[in-house]
A = this chain, B = another copy of it.
Amino acid sequence: MKPKNVHGNTLDALGEAIIAGRYPPGATVPPEPTLCEEFGVSRTVVREAVKSLVAKGLVSTGPKVGTRVLPSDQWNWFDPDVVAWQSKVGLTREFLRDLQETRRVVEPAAVRMAAERATAQDVAEIEAAYEGMRRAVEEGGDYVTFDLRFHQGLLRASHNRMLVQMSKALSALLRTSFEISTSRKDGPRGSLPLHRAVLDAVAAHDPARAEKSILLLIDSARDDIEAVLGSRRRLPRLNMPATLLRV
């Protein structure tokens, strides 16, 4: 959208470039003066951006050795920025698979906890999100946003730090999933009752029923995703060669 500030832009550009594979793991990023010239910023900005990348586990630095890109399994995949960069660069099949698996592991357990511990306010927030979804279906509107809010409300209601944290990373998958689902005929309308079932079970503090309901929802989404993955249709920017990503 609009440029935030120099630091943020530089950080985003560098992060995207690394995740896009322009600087593959094991390679070194160009030295600071080169980056300064490339982005047209001062060395301080570059240094702070690099420090942020270090904090996210993407690179490590050292005198003379330069700034090395770390292997991708050391990246902090629960960092919202990292996930956002990966989403922007292109969701690979492996990344979607990992996310889908994680969701299927985490979300049922979280919903179970939510059914045990949700406060009245938690339920009210989820209810509001559901209401938004319903209105979007009937009167038209932004369905995906309310769907996201619905699931994030569920994870927040688990009142478990780690699980809440994951909701941010899972958002990338959920958004993709929802956009795929909504593109299929009657997708939103068909999934409304499934959402209603989850919400009712949580509000009734029935963990077992809540878990069963969310599994139905997840698996129906998985089928949608796999239908697209299985087809020859390419994902947005999927497997795009790194050379095409240059600015």
**A13 cross-chain contacts in B, Cβ below 8 A:** none
- Chain A contributes a number of interface residues (CB within 8 A of B) equal to 37
Main secondary structure, interface of A, reads helix
Q: Check if A76 sits within 8 Å of B78, measured CB to CB.
A: yes
Is A39 engaged at the interface, CB distance under 8 Å to the other chain? no
| Bitwise interface map of A from 95 to 138 toward B, beta carbon under 8 Å scored 1, else 0 | 10011011001100100010000000000000000000000000
Residues of the B chain whose Cβ atoms lie less than 8 Å from the Cβ of A165: 73, 75-78
Binary per-residue interface labels of chain A (161-184) against chain B in the complex, 1 for a CB within 8 Å, 0 otherwise = 111110001000000000000000
Per the 8 Å Cβ criterion, residues 25-50 of A in contact with B are 44, 47-48
Q: Is the CB of B77 within 8 A of A162?
A: yes
Copies of this chain, complex-wide, total 2
A169: nearest residue on chain B (CB-CB)?
B162
When chains A and B are docked, how far (Å) is the Cα of A52 from the Cα of B79?
13
Flag whether A208 is at the interface (Cβ < 8 A).
no
Residues of B within 8 A of A78 (CB): 76, 78, 162, 165
Instruction: Assess whether A101 is in contact with B76, with CB atoms less than 8 Å apart.
Output: no
User: What chain B residues lie within 8 Å of A160 (beta carbons)?
Assistant: 98, 101-102
Instruction: Tell me, yes or no, whether A238 is within 8 Å of chain B by CB.
Output: no
> 0/1 per residue, A60-76, Cβ < 8 Å to B?
00000000000011011
Query: Which partner residue on chain B sits nearest A102 by CB separation?
Result: B162
A7 within 8 A of B: yes
Q: Given the known A-B contacts A79-B76, A106-B105, are A99 and B162 also in contact in the complex, defined by CB atoms under 8 Å?
A: yes
- Judge whether A56 is part of the interface by a CB distance below 8 angstroms: yes
- Complex-state Cα separation, A75 to B162, whole angstroms: 10
Residue of B with least CB distance to A73: B164
Chain B residues, Cβ within 8 Å of A169? 162
Neighbour of A76 across the interface among B47, B51, B76, B94, CB < 8 A: B76
Binding site for B on A (CB under 8 A): 7, 44, 47-48, 51-57, 72-73, 75-79, 81, 94-95, 98-99, 101-102, 105-106, 109, 113, 156, 160-165, 169
